[in-house]
C-alpha cells in the first residue's frame, strides 16, 4: 500500500469491508452510497479504520470492482490472497473528495452531513449529526448533543425538511420529546 496523497479530512468514506470473497483476495464491500458501480471508475481506493489518524489511511490500486447482490466485490492490489483479504475485514474504504463526482440537487455524501446541527420546526436544537446508519427501509441519522441519549431520525422527506450545507443545519419535523 502507498501512503495517501490527500488529507484524511478529504477522504469520503464510501463503504466497509464485510468479508473476504473467493480464494484470490477479493473483498465483499458493504456500500454506504447509492452509486457503488461508479466506484469501479476510480483507479485507487483508500483503506483505514474508523478513528485512525490521517497517516494511517493507505492508498491502494483498484484492480476490479463489480456489484453482486447489493454488495461490491472488489479486488485491491493490497489483498494478494484470501488470508490478506480476511485480515482486512472491518476496514473502511474511501476516496478523496476530488476524485468523486459532484452530487446532484438533493444528494449528499454522508461525510457532508456529519457534524451538521439538527433543528426542528420550533427552532429547537436536537444536537448534531453523529453518523448515519443504512437500514433496508431507509438511512437513519444518529443525532446527539452529548448530554442526552442519541436520537435516531429516519432520513426521509417527511422528517428531513431541508438540508442546508452552507448554513451547517438540517431542519426536521421532530419534537424534543420523541
Residue 6 CA, distance from chain mean position: 17
Q: Is 158 within 8 Å of 173 (Cβ atoms)? A: yes
pLDDT tens per residue, range 74-88: 999 999 999 999 999
Give me the pLDDT at residue 152, please: 96
Domain topology for 110-172:
SH3 type barrels. (2.30.30)
Give me the pLDDT at residue 54, please: 58
Calpha distance 118→173 (Å, rounded):
10
What DSSP character marks residue 116?
-
Q: Where are the domains of the chain?
A: 2-99, 110-172
DSSP secondary structure string for all residues of 44-110: EEEEE-TT--GGG-EEEEEEEEEEETTEEEEEETT--SHHHHHHTTT-EEEEEGGGSPPP-TT---H
pLDDT tens per residue, range 6-23: 444 578 888 899 999 999
What's the chain's average pLDDT? 87
* Residue of higher predicted confidence among 50 and 129: 129
- Cell numbers linked to 121: 420546526
Give me the pLDDT at residue 6, please: 44
CA angle 114, 168, 121 (to 5 degrees): 100
Give me the pLDDT at residue 2, please: 29
pLDDT tens per residue, range 36-58: 777 888 899 999 998 776 568 89
CA angle 140, 131, 87 (to 5 degrees): 110
Provide φ and ψ at 115, rounded to 5°: 100, -15
CATH code at 2-99: 2.40.30.60
Res 120 pLDDT > 90:
yes
Q: Is 143 within 8 Å of 164 (Cβ atoms)? A: no
For the segment 130-146, the average pLDDT, to the nearest whole number, is: 88
Amino acid at each position: 500500500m502507498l501512503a495517501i496523497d490527500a488529507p484524511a479530512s478529504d477522504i469520503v468514506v464510501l463503504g466497509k469491508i464485510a468479508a473476504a470473497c473467493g480464494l484470490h483476495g477479493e473483498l465483499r464491500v458493504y456500500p454506504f452510497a447509492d452509486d457503488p458501480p461508479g466506484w469501479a471508475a476510480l483507479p485507487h481506493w483508500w483503506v483505514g479504520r474508523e478513528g485512525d489518524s490521517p497517516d494511517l489511511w493507505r492508498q491502494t490500486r483498484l484492480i476490479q470492482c463489480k456489484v453482486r447482490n447489493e454488495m461490491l466485490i472488489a479486488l485491491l492490489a493490497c489483498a494478494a490472497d484470501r488470508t490478506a483479504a480476511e485480515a482486512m475485514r472491518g476496514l473502511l474504504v474511501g476516496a478523496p473528495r476530488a476524485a468523486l463526482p459532484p452530487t446532484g440537487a438533493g444528494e449528499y455524501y454522508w461525510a457532508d452531513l456529519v457534524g451538521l446541527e439538527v433543528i426542528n420546526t420550533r427552532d429547537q436544537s436536537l444536537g448534531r449529526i453523529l453518523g448515519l446508519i443504512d437500514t433496508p427501509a431507509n438511512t437513519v441519522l444518529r443525532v446527539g448533543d452529548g448530554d442526552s441519549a442519541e436520537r435516531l431520525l429516519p432520513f426521509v422527506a417527511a422528517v428531513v425538511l431541508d438540508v442546508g450545507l452552507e448554513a451547517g443545519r438540517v431542519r426536521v419535523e421532530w419534537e424534543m420529546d420523541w
